[in-house]
Amino acid sequence: MKKSMLFILIFFCSVLAFSVNYGGDLIYVMGTDAVTLFPGNTDNPSEMVCRNIFEGLVEFDSNMKIHPVLAKSWELSEDGKEYTFHLKENIKFHDGAPLNSRAVKKSLEFIIDSKSRKASIFSPFIESIEVIDELTFKIKLTIPGGFFINNLAHSAGLIMSPNSIDEYGYDLGELGKHPVGTGPFSLEEWKRAERITLVKNEDYWGEGPYLDSVIYNVIPEDITRVIQLQSGDADITSRVPPIMIDRLESTSGLTVDIVPSLRVMYLGFNFDKPPFDDDRVRKAINYAIDKEKICEVILRGMGNFSDSPLAPLTVGYYPTGGFPYDPQKAKELLKEAGQEDLTFELSCPRGRYLQDYESVLAIQGMLAEVGITANVRPMEWADYMSYLYGSADDPRYEVFFVGWSPSTGDADWVLRPNFYSDNIIPYGDNNFFYRNEKLDGLIDEGAAEVDYDKRMEIYKEAQEILVLEDTVWGYLWYLNQVVAYKDSLMGVEVLPTEIVIVKNCWFE
């Protein structure tokens, strides 16, 4: 009898230890608004919101390991060119449409056919999608693609309701205002530059959600977000300014997570606007910036010197050595190029990245030391994205500050969208107007190569071209991400892709 009572006591203690609470409204204060809720054109703030509304066949966890979501299982053929997926049963979209093989086929093909900025995550690789039965379908690839399962975890792989595609079609602006997925939350309200309110999907197919709502409040000022968290007016925030980390860590009731990321910060050059078509000018700007000083003084150790468009955690990274601080070398190159009195506009966001505006002002000062006048133009994030991607025919920008984080964790999703000649905007993220047939060939070779070591050698050569030869970017730093939240908020997941997942959270 005593043993039975002991077993029962242990059982109930275990249940209590792993129990969750239902209810409550999570308030996430973020520095910038989403740009769109169309999965095919997301930036990171947009993707964080989308991950609550939509779901994909698979997704990453905080260790970048793949887990099934809408897919129950899958098999890869021996030649690596066919994936057969089996969907989970009895799943519906928010509008009541059933999730089936036809819905998945329609969503993935729409991303490709829409020629959205993220279409190249699929378009070079998917040959066809074949519906086998209601819950089984086959994706046929153009090349062997063991890597392709990671591509399906990208935001472009989030499955949209076929009804919403039918209603809004290729009006991607409207589609991005009316997101309909299978996720645990649905969109209730979006007040631009102010607030996004998501409410609990009462008919969600999986466990949870535990929260009643998730509210993203847009507050550009870093200090204001921190104060709201400390005062209890917010539950979680990201991109905590380095100067505030110690203060938050010493605040009772708060947790601060510092996590390495895949984010690479860089200066982009418009090759179609002289003199930025001259690699001597681009190299001079690289040498003129003391990246390590900015990482130490402004980022306070939350950034590290960059020597590649890939972060060290990205599969395929190779350390090229990059451009150490050498202002004398910068002056020599500018003189050689006939650009000793160079003046240009340096555009940047304000409040999107960790200490973004402050870092750009430091860059401005360092460039002045070598005779360059950089006129800084800060912009709100949504306007900035429109500025960089809105007009491929006559882009106005010259040099711009921005970051890239590959949502697949793989080299291909750095190199292909940013540097492939066919992905010049509006068909990709190559808003540098950079063209190099040799690099295009290496990108294709790397994707098709199944031998890991050979693939790494291909990507090594590609990075040497991009950094040391063509110097396509101003290579700055890799960022750590800083996320702070209440101790009572459980289930927060911080991914290296700079995506913070809160859909599984609950309050203790």
Residue 90 lies in a domain: yes
pLDDT of residue 18: 56
Integer Cα distance of 401 and 409 in angstroms: 22
Q: Are residues 310 and 173 located together in one domain of the fold?
A: no
Q: Are residues 61 and 153 located together in one domain of the fold?
A: yes
The residues with which 243 forms a beta bridge, in sequence order, are none
Rg over alpha carbons for the chain, rounded to the nearest Å, is: 24
- Terminus-to-terminus CA distance in the chain, angstroms? 34
**Residue 90 is part of which domain span?**
25-181
Integer Cα distance of 460 and 453 in angstroms: 11
Q: Are residues 151 and 277 located together in one domain of the fold?
A: no
Q: Are residues 171 and 283 located together in one domain of the fold?
A: no
pLDDT of residue 117: 87
Please provide the size of the chain in residues: 508
In this structure, the number of other CB atoms found within 10 A of the CB of residue 25 comes to 14
pLDDT of residue 2: 37
Integer Cα distance of 262 and 408 in angstroms: 10
pLDDT of residue 394: 76
3-state SS, residue 197 = strand
3-state SS, residue 90 = coil
Integer Cα distance of 370 and 329 in angstroms: 10
Q: Which of 181, 199, 222 is the last residue of a domain?
A: 181
Q: Residues 40, 117: contact at Cβ < 8 Å?
A: yes
Phi, psi (5° rounding) for residue 175?
Answer: -60, -35
CA distances from 460 to 3, 415, 463, 468 (A): 63, 12, 5, 11
Q: Are residues 349 and 466 located together in one domain of the fold?
A: yes
Residue 131 lies in a domain: yes
Residue 113 lies in a domain: yes
pLDDT of residue 5: 39
Number of domains in the chain: 2
Integer Cα distance of 289 and 372 in angstroms: 11
Q: What is the DSSP letter of 503?
A: T
* Cis amide leading into 184 (omega within 30): no
Q: Are residues 35 and 143 located together in one domain of the fold?
A: yes
Integer Cα distance of 284 and 88 in angstroms: 55
Residue 253 lies in a domain: no
Residue 107 lies in a domain: yes
What is the largest distance, in Å, between two alpha-carbon atoms of the chain?
A: 92
Q: Residues 50, 158: contact at Cβ < 8 Å?
A: yes
Residue 503 lies in a domain: no
pLDDT of residue 371: 98
Q: Where are the alpha helices (DSSP H) in 194-237?
A: 222-231
In this structure, the number of other CB atoms found within 10 A of the CB of residue 256 comes to 17
Cβ-based neighbours of 149, under 8 Å, separated by 6 or more: 58, 66, 74, 76, 83
Tens-digit pLDDT profile for the chain (508 aa)? 333 333 333 433 443 345 899 999 999 999 999 999 999 999 999 999 999 999 999 999 999 999 999 999 999 999 999 999 999 999 999 999 999 999 999 999 999 999 888 999 999 999 999 999 999 999 999 999 878 999 999 999 999 999 999 999 999 999 999 999 999 999 999 999 999 999 999 999 999 999 999 999 999 998 999 999 999 999 999 999 999 999 999 999 999 999 999 999 999 999 999 999 999 999 999 999 999 999 999 999 999 999 999 999 999 999 999 999 999 999 999 999 999 999 999 999 998 999 999 999 999 999 999 999 999 999 999 999 999 998 777 788 999 999 999 999 999 999 999 999 999 998 899 999 999 999 999 999 999 998 999 999 999 999 999 999 999 999 999 999 999 999 999 999 999 999 999 999 999 9
Q: What is the CATH number of the domain that holds 453?
A: 3.10.105.10
Integer Cα distance of 30 and 195 in angstroms: 10
pLDDT of residue 468: 98
Q: Which of 132, 157, 181 is the last residue of a domain?
A: 181
pLDDT of residue 13: 42
pLDDT of residue 496: 95
Integer Cα distance of 44 and 495 in angstroms: 11
CA distances from 148 to 76, 96, 472 (A): 10, 30, 27
